[in-house]
Chains A and B, each alone.
Chain A
Amino acid sequence: MKHPVAAVLCAPGTNRDNDVTFALQLAGACPVTVLTTELLTNPSRIDDADILVIAGGFSYADALGAGRLFAVELEHAVGERISDAIAQGRAVLGICNGFQTLVRMGVLPGSGESAALGHNASGVFDCRWVELEATSKKCVWTKNLSQNIECPIAHGEGRFTCTQDTLEKLQGNDQIALRYVDANPNGSLDNVAGVCDQTGVVLGLMPHPENHVVSRQHPQSHRGVSRGLGLSLFQSGVCYARR
């Protein structure tokens, strides 16, 4: 399998689908766009994909809470098929609104634990660059990253929170996949930027590695800076899917 098929799942209001499609292409996958309306009539499109990606955006305008309605729709149309995909070890990625959706579905952090992504501590939508350290040896998307990723965040509801008990379980299970380095932009517990499920195949993260896939996209590229490509995260996932 040279070019694994990556289904990019989109709801009305998903808007970083083109960006993640471009990143997946550069990483060697064959991305296809799948709309929630199409899943209702043709749910098997989930089964046809080697990789599932829930793209960022404002699905359903964030009405009733970010990711809530996307989660309800996916649960309704293809909930079981997504569970099957995870059970089969297929790689799943949720970015920003996709992360919020996976959390609302209960896929993340999984194993019956619950977490939430609350309003940023600043109270407002925030777009800025962050640095991310890969901290999990389990997550198929991040475990082979050799350097920190630098990429933007662009969200209003990204403050990761859970009970102390859940946090300790996630730490113990090596499920904290990505942490903010230096500056925590949204008040997330334990600087969490992304978590994986217990198997390590599902990753959800708030930042947007898909917006740093060529080095000139780095905000200091005019100062000669070239580091921290987010592309490597997609390459890891594609590499895993090729196994």
Chain B
Amino acid sequence: MQNVPAIHRLTVSPTGVDPRCSALMRDAMDLGITTLQSAQISDLIFVRGDVTEQDQRQLEDILVDSLLQQASWGLQGSKSKHVVESTLHSGVTDSVAHELHRVATRLGVAIDAVATGKRFELTGNLTRMDVDILVRKLLVNSVIENCSIDSPIVPAFAQAGPPTPSLVSYVSIPPDASDSELQELNIERGLAMDIEELRAVRNHYASAGAVARDIELESIAQTWSEHCAHKTFRASITLDDSITIPSLINQLRQTTELIDAPYVVSSFVGNAGIISFVPGTTIALKCETHNHPSAIEPFGGANTGVGGVIRDVLGASHLPIACTNILCFGRPTTRADDLPEGVFHPRRIRAGVVAGIADYGNKIGLPTVAGAVLYDDGYIANPLVYAGCIGVAHRPYNAQVPQTSDRIIVLGGRTGRDGLRGATFSSMTMDATTGDVSGASVQIGDPITEKLLIDVLGRGQDLFRAITDCGAGGLSSAIGEMAQGIGACVELSELPLKYPGLAPWEIWLSEAQERMVVAVDEAGVAALQETCERFGVEFTDVGFFTGTNRLVVQHDGDVVVDLDLDFLHDGRPQRHMSAVMPTPFRELMTREQFIKTFGDIDVVDSLKRLLAHPNIASKAAVIHRYDHEIRGATLVRPLIGARTDGHADGVVIAEPLDHHGIAIGIGVNPWFGALDAERMALSVVDEAMRNVVAVGADPDSVALLDNFSWGNPRRPSTLGDLVAAVKGCCDAAMTFQAPFVSGKDSLNNEYLGSDGERHSVPPTLVITAIAHVPDVAATVTPDLKAVGNLVVLIGRTDLEFGASHLAMVHGVADAGAVPAFDPSALDRYRLVHKAMRDGLVSACHDVAEGGIAVAIAEMAMAGRLGVNMSSDLVKEQLFSESNSRFLLEVAPTNVDTLLKRFGDSSVVIGIVTQEQKLQFSSDEGVFIDELLDIWQRVS
């Protein structure tokens, strides 16, 4: 019998105060567990092998810092009533274990496996049920971790899976298979196809006279999934049983073509949109969602979302320079009892998501510069995580496709069972069991491996001909896409694996992170390999492009996939869908109606309520978690003002010595979306425009990204909202002459509760604007600068309160129409920009949630100055959320010039004062300190 090496266990505990414990206590209170008195968190390290005492001391030297920690080998007793221990599932990325293994080997300590874990010692009068709740909701995520309560845990070392009995199994699809037989196949194989697609598959195999291999079906299902094929955006749609419109994607594309902006280099193809504002430099931009994974494993889901979008930019041959994110959660004050079954508390989700984004961005070394955090009950079961990335290249952009006999090289991370079937999973509705059954769909990122990919790929495009990233669908998707129109032959057994025992289909579809696929001319292989070796990036030659237009995949020479690429990419029947168009209320409110709706509200009280609302309250606690300073190019930062605690409208990135830069602005308003999807789209494009213009961007050089997160589009009303929103996007883009260059949709953001009800997210469209900043000396921040300056309102204020934050904080359900779009806005934005270039503007802030009142309060708080507001403004004007407005701070000497330029659309509404107080009228005023205290309160 073979000797099984012993497992040695080391427990490392902090000796001082551990901030993780106080966080844990706070989170337990949120769950309604008040009896947890104290907690101790320790790290567990398991090493398997013949480890001597001397080896143990050597390992301790590496693992334990005696000034901060204490450590002991073997099992520990505990004075605590309850002990919970956890370790990662086999196959989940564990960089600590990986590095320890590597360094131990270097030191000559012979160990054959390492695993890590955590130990929680809980003290207090806790029932077994309390402990169970803590374990499920806080301490352990069963998606990635095992746990053991009150007994020592045994680690699951990375190991071989069950041996695969046969490489490939054949699936018989009779040429006359009925719809019900096809549906059976659909469910049995988890293909998530609709009946027309199933028939197309059946007919394809019938006409080819071939028998389907199981891996082929998996490849087709993945390529045709909503996530990869965007079937809804490509569908023909019949509106209200009458007219049929072109696909949504074509509407957006046509708008971009009609605008024909000179700075668009590449739109709606490849991994990212590409634009160019100055000769010789191109910018790649992309925004993605990672919603489903973030719901079930917030840290890993958000973490790999960031990694994925950075690879999109790398896959467009650009060097990433900045990241963005927009996060939507349930309200932090949600009661634990109100959570649907199987759903984490919004605070837990937020903590995990923010930590996941911070972990990836900070470690890979990219500034996380712009974003938004939104709260609404509609996101309790379906949090949304949008991650964006921007990259640059300093050479003519030249997109190339693979040529026959080019080698197919896989770079970066190793392949494991990570994220299998992620593409099909993310296209399905979640329910209470999703977290349990989809464990394999979520991964933890490894930012350092991706950093090394950047180091290699940043050396220049000379090293490869074409490139794409491995995202959803893994190699199947990446190589399948690259091989379109040419064909490829791939040998899977060449790929380095995280652990042995993977079946060919698992290798082919694995969504292991941090991998890129490049096509390299045979003569260039050696140079790429050498660069990879220098930076320690794994390099695997897995095959070549053939010229046969077939996708052939082998494992040890056995064919496991042989598919016609035309069928794979173009064989999917276009989907036909039906939409019922919304008929939103659009009448403007009168003063009388305002008073009837809101009553006699108090200005200062309303302002305080607005500033305390989590959507408006300070996001500084989140922003500080992200490194927004690295690269030294964040010129207008997310945090600005006299104490660096105000929020900028947009950000400006400019290399330290460049005289020009780019601005990034975000527009998002799901509350408008719930009432009027078309006006929401118009409004959020306007908002994104305002946010870049406010910091100094040229309104005539703006490119846009669209990201839709929606419910199930099979519901005709939901699809109707989507159609209306796309129409709004196209109309706004035309009006501003700002083209869309890339976009992404995430549909089916719904949760089937155990109550049998469907919980959908509100229609959430995120618009990212990227704009040219021609002169960094003319960039502007929103903080008030000097006493005696005047505050000028630009734009028209109507009584528009539908889905406004004033309505929210006063509990008003029906507050009329969503703000209308102002088609004349572009002219004013040009004038604002010109005024900035002429040095007339000291501060600029866009007017959005909470209206003028919130905007002026934010300017005053950021500048630590006060404002005497003009008494001409009536109460309702202070809180209206009409579009297309700015507040400008202007020196008295400049104000006449400015007012003359803007004419009727400008009015002086206040004067900046030394006394740090907002004075609305003689008897309505509030001190800035009091507002800051409310606005900065952490929720």
Contacts and interface: CB of A to CB of B under 8 A. Distances in A.
A122 B19 contact: yes
Interface in B602-651: 623-632, 635-637, 639-642, 644
Contact of A63 (B14, B96, B452, B536): B96
Contact of B67 (A57, A76, A115): A115
A37 B62 contact: no
B62 A220 contact: no
B63 interface: yes
A22 interface: yes
B67 A116 contact: yes
B446 A61 contact: yes
Contacts of A216: 635, 656, 776
Given A60-B99, A114-B67, A118-B16, A223 B629 contact: no
A190 to B, nearest CB: 15
B448 A60 contact: yes
B630 A15 contact: yes
Nearest to B655: A22
A243 interface: no
| B interface bracket (residues with beta carbon within 8 Å of A) | 35 or more
Given A12-B451, A76-B106, A154 B629 contact: yes
Contact of B625 (A58, A60, A125): A125
Interface string B416-455: 0000000000000000000000000000001110011000
B630 A211 contact: yes
A222 B780 contact: yes
Given A129-B644, A208-B629, A219-B639, A154 B781 contact: no
Contacts of A22: 632, 656
B642 A61 contact: no
A64 B19 contact: no
A224 B323 CA distance: 28
B580 to A, nearest CB: 47
B719 to A, nearest CB: 42
B625 A128 contact: no
Interface in B249-301: none
Given A63-B99, A219-B637, A123 B448 contact: no
A38 B534 contact: yes
A12 B536 contact: yes
B630 A16 contact: yes
A154 B367 CA distance: 11
B627 A154 contact: yes
Interface residues of A, number: 54
A60 to B, nearest CB: 5
Contacts of B787: none
A116 B67 CA distance: 6
Contacts, number: 149
A217 interface: yes
Interface string A4-21: 000000001101101100
B365 A64 contact: no
Interface in A176-219: 208, 210-214, 216-217, 219
Contacts of A69: 99, 103
B22 interface: yes
A138 interface: no
B874 interface: no
B19 A119 contact: yes
A52 B96 CA distance: 28
A82 interface: no
Interface of B: 14, 16-20, 22-23, 62-63, 65-68, 95-96, 98-100, 103, 106-107, 358, 362-365, 446-448, 451-452, 534-536, 623-632, 635-637, 639-642, 644, 656-657, 776, 779-781, 783, 785
Contacts of B20: 123
A20 B623 CA distance: 23
Given A129-B644, A216-B635, A223-B785, A61 B62 contact: no
A161 interface: yes
A32 interface: no
A213 B633 CA distance: 11
Contact of B631 (A18, A62, A121): A18
23 contacts: A12-B448, A12-B536, A13-B451, A15-B364, A19-B630, A19-B631, A37-B536, A38-B534, A58-B363, A115-B67, A119-B19, A122-B19, A123-B19, A127-B623, A127-B624, A154-B630, A214-B656, A216-B635, A216-B656, A217-B635, A219-B637, A220-B642, A222-B636
Contacts of A115: 67
Contacts of B96: 63-64
A64 B363 contact: no
B665 to A, nearest CB: 17
What are the 10 A-B residue pairs with the smallest beta carbon separation, nearest first?
Answer: A15-B365, A123-B19, A63-B99, A116-B67, A152-B629, A13-B448, A58-B363, A154-B627, A63-B96, A222-B781
A58 B361 CA distance: 11
Contacts of A110: none
A183 B414 CA distance: 44
Nearest to B17: A121
A217 B363 CA distance: 22
Nearest to B695: A222
Nearest to A19: B632
A162 interface: yes
B66 to A, nearest CB: 8
A217 B100 contact: no
A50 B891 CA distance: 51
B534 A58 contact: no
A126 B624 contact: yes
Nearest to A126: B624
Contacts of A79: none
Contacts of B100: 63-64
A98 B706 CA distance: 41
A33 B643 CA distance: 36
Contacts of A18: 631
Contact of B644 (A58, A123, A128, A162): A128
Given A61-B447, A72-B62, A213 B644 contact: no
Contacts of B779: 222
Interface string A61-75: 111110011001000
Nearest to B22: A123
Contacts of B22: 123
A18 B630 CA distance: 10
B657 A214 contact: yes
Given A22-B656, A72-B103, A127 B632 contact: no
A127 B65 contact: no
A208 B20 CA distance: 26
Contact of A61 (B99, B623, B785): B99
A35 B536 CA distance: 10
